[in-house]
């Protein structure tokens, strides 16, 4: 399932390296510092969640990593290579599924499009798209248009498109923020399943604390803007997760309390500008 990595020279470092990342948006009054200093590594095959209070520059960080936004300072490396534009081995699932899928194409053609642009032959394209749609339980929806589907199904199409592309790294920007709670739980399990099946690296941005703990092997907590890493937590929950049982584990409650406290602290710091005693 994985993209062919044989051609890439052996590299022992992390899949993704972020060091001293800084992003200042130019404004009329001299610039807004969205990200001050971010440093973290994501090893290959990890599912890492990034949480932070609203306005923490989560989307900015993701866009910088995706090569959609130039950084002001710092190191951004994928597989040891500097990120200067959208990397070939990376896919992104955006929050706004309704605007990320092309309404003038059927679901099938949407999933196939990145493969077509990459020069994948037609027969293989078809097969990979069908396989990916099956993986997200939408095998029958290929001939429909995205707007004929519910929000949750549309986001699954966007995930299928990313899966068919066979990236090494998948970035997800609050992908489930706009769907209802039940759909959201299903989609979370879908992400876990795909992550296990494909063995890819996933960076999942969310503002939902429960979601970050349930999904991630690790939770990186961001502070409010100007953003730094507030905390980096290893999620030591069993690998097989279940919406009911995992969420009722005492360890789950501990972790979510911990993340919650960190975010409250981040908000308080943003308000007072001082670091309160722990």
Partner 1 sequence: MSAFLRNTAFLLGLPLLLVLWWWWATIDSTNFFVPTPGELVTTFVDTWFGPRFWQDVLPSIGRLAAGLALAIVLGVAFGILIGSFKRLRQLLEPLLEFIRAVPPVVLVPLLMLLIGINDLMKVVVIVSGAIWPILLNTVEGVRATDEVQRDTCATYRIRGLNRLRYLTLPAASPQILAGVRQSLSIGLILMVISEMFGSSSGLGFTIVWFQRNFAIPEMWSGILVLGLIGLGLSVIFRVVERRILRWYHGLREVQRAS
**What residue ranges bind partner 1 (CB under 8 A)?**
63, 66-68, 85-86, 88, 90-92, 94, 96, 99-100, 102-105, 113-114, 116-118, 145, 147-148, 161, 165
Least distance in angstroms from the C-beta of 81 to partner 1: 15
Least distance in angstroms from the C-beta of 98 to partner 1: 9
Using the minimum distance from each CB to partner 1, give the nearer residue, 91 or 219. Answer: 91
Q: Which residues contact 2 (CB under 8 A, 6 or more apart)?
A: 166, 168, 198, 199, 200
Max Cα distance, the chain (Å): 62
Rounded Cα gap, residues 47 and 101, in angstroms = 24
Using the minimum distance from each CB to partner 1, give the nearer residue, 63 or 218. Answer: 63
Least distance in angstroms from the C-beta of 140 to partner 1: 19
Using the minimum distance from each CB to partner 1, give the nearer residue, 52 or 87. Answer: 87
Rounded Cα gap, residues 171 and 204, in angstroms = 6
Least distance in angstroms from the C-beta of 88 to partner 1: 7
| Whether 93 contacts 158, CB under 8 Å | yes
Give the position of tokens 């959201």.
184
Query: Residue 235 burial by CB count (10 A; 0-12/13-18/19+): exposed, middle or buried?
Result: buried
| Whether 128 contacts 198, CB under 8 Å | no
Using the minimum distance from each CB to partner 1, give the nearer residue, 198 or 263. Answer: 198
Least distance in angstroms from the C-beta of 99 to partner 1: 4
Using the minimum distance from each CB to partner 1, give the nearer residue, 117 or 274. Answer: 117
170 closest CA partner among 14, 79, 66: 66
Least distance in angstroms from the C-beta of 161 to partner 1: 8
Using the minimum distance from each CB to partner 1, give the nearer residue, 158 or 191. Answer: 158
- H or E element: which one contains 28? none
CA angle 140, 90, 35 (to 5 degrees): 120
């Amino acid at each position: 399932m994985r993209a062919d990595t044989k051609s890439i020279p052996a590299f022992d470092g992390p899949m993704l390296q972020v060091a001293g990342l800084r992003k200042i948006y130019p404004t009329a009054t001299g610039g807004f510092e969205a990200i001050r200093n971010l440093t973290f590594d994501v090893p290959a095959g990890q599912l890492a969640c990034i949480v932070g209070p609203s306005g923490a520059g989560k989307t900015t960080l993701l866009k910088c990593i995706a090569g959609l936004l130039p950084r002001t300072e710092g190191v951004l490396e994928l597989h040891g290579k500097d990120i200067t534009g959208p990397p070939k081995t990376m896919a992104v699932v955006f929050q706004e599924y309704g605007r990320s899928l092309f309404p003038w194409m059927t679901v099938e053609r949407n999933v196939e499009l990145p493969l077509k642009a990459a020069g994948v032959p037609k027969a293989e394209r078809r097969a990979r798209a069908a396989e990916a749609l099956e993986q997200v339980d939408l095998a029958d929806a290929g001939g429909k248009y995205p707007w004929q589907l519910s929000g949750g199904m549309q986001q699954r199409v966007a995930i299928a498109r990313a899966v068919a592309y066979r990236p090494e790294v998948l970035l997800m920007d609050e992908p489930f923020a706009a769907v209802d709670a039940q759909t959201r739980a299903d989609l979370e399990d879908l992400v876990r399943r795909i992550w296990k099946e494909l063995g890819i690296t996933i960076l999942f941005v969310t503002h939902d604390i429960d979601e970050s703990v349930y999904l991630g092997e690790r939770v990186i907590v961001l502070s409010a803007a100007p953003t730094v890493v507030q905390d980096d937590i290893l999620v030591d929950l069993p690998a097989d997760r279940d919406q009911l049982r995992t969420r009722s584990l005492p360890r789950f409650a501990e972790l979510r309390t911990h993340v919650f406290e960190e975010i409250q602290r981040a908000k308080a710091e943003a308000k007072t500008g001082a670091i309160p005693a722990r």
